[in-house]
Amino acid sequence: MESSASSAENSEGGGGRAALKAFVSAGRGYWRDVPAEQWDDWRWQLKNRITTLAQLERLLPTLTPEERAGTQLANHKLALGITPCFFNLIDPADEFCPIRRQVIPRIEETVTAPWETIDPCGEEAHSPVPGLVHRYPDRVLFLVTDRCASYCRYCTRSRLVSNAAGYDFHPDFEQQIAYIRAHPEVRDVLLSGGDPLLLSDEKLDALLGELRAIPHVEFLRIGTRIPIFLPQRITPELCGMLRRHHPLFISIHSNHPRELTVEARTALERLADAGIPLGNQSVLLRHVNDDPEIMRIHVQKLLMCRVRPYYLYQCDLIAGSAHLRTSVRRGLEILRQLRGYTTGYAVPTYVIDAPGGGGKVPLTPEYVVRHTAERVLLRNYKGELVRIPGGA
């Protein structure tokens, strides 16, 4: 049975790219008999996640041998978990469905390339206290939980998230906050995990309040995929609580235009109406968004949701992710086909998070052809050469 999103897309023909520009509802799909009051309850969504091979085989009869084998081994690395509302976006007829690729395990996850590691960004080496990463001079990463609403198969923190690998992460908020209090150079705190918006309103309110009370902490950020995986969680009550902690910024994570449903847009509009600046971080993934037209539709839809495309990440060198990684050359070509062909607000910064904790390195297509004291030779977005005086 198709979800309403898939049906709307397929009705366009030609791959349904015109339909991707529209906002469609994920609907209840496979859960059509579930009452609306349950479907719209984020706790019901979490309780009824797809977490086993038996559930997958029942809901997705087209499961491939690679997916079946990957799911049998998934809980040794990163747990399987998909919310019903996100599962309904999967096209059951397409093995390379961009939603399917992101959340259904494959046997390729068990293959580790020589250059891959379980901690590709070197977070452990920059963790002065458990659950806190201090890699940049004026900001810290504050890990609050190891749980997510759904689990991305390319997760950079798969060693920690879901506890499938036995990492046994238990954040100590008092110790983490004490470190921040003792380091006046820290002006920016990013809450991540796992997903911070899985905390209760009360617990998140208390945590933000403690951080906001530290004089040198100027602003707070939350990294979350909840508006995409679990838009029901973005309640008026949550937004009312968050607006008390300004300046507060939220970075969401969306990779493909199909993820930006009517429900996701409503959730994002609620956050924006609460005065929270929203940015998006995408990961460049093979057979998901490594296509200039798909990326252009995606970033334009993000702007319609009042979200600024912020970062496009080269997929980190996390163990078992080679089948999802595309080339840097491809990423640069996609960026080149965005710049000048859509509004500048829609063009993200393409970055590599350097292995070992080297930090984010921005990548841009080569626009400077030659630079001398007398003349600078440039190439514009059309490929035309432009000359300006070197000292201008």
Confirm whether 85 is a catalytic residue.
Answer: no
CA distance 130 to 60: 39
Identified catalytic residue from 136, 167, 179, 310: 136
Identified catalytic residue from 155, 239, 305, 315: 155
Confirm whether 152 is a catalytic residue.
Answer: yes
Identified catalytic residue from 49, 139, 147, 221: 139
3-class secondary structure, 329? helix
CA distance 317 to 312: 15
Confirm whether 360 is a catalytic residue.
Answer: yes
Write the DSSP string, 257-290.
GGG--HHHHHHHHHHHHTT--EEEEEEE-TTTT-
C-beta contacts of 41-46 below 8 A and 24+ residues apart:
41/232, 42/230, 42/232, 42/233, 42/235, 45/83, 45/84, 45/85, 45/149, 45/230, 45/232, 46/83, 46/149, 46/198, 46/230
C-alpha closest to that of 154 among 371, 325, 368, 384: 325
Identified catalytic residue from 153, 157, 225, 265: 157
Identified catalytic residue from 212, 330, 360, 379: 360
Confirm whether 375 is a catalytic residue.
Answer: no
Write the DSSP string, 186-253.
--EEEEESS-GGGS-HHHHHHHHHHHHTSTT--EEEEEE-HHHH-GGG--HHHHHHHGGG-SEEEEE-
Identified catalytic residue from 316, 325, 336, 350: 316
Identified catalytic residue from 91, 146, 195, 353: 353
Q: Which two tokens stand for residue 34?
A: 């579930």
Confirm whether 370 is a catalytic residue.
Answer: no
Identified catalytic residue from 152, 239, 305, 315: 152
Active-site residue list: 135-136, 139, 148, 152, 155, 157, 316, 353, 360
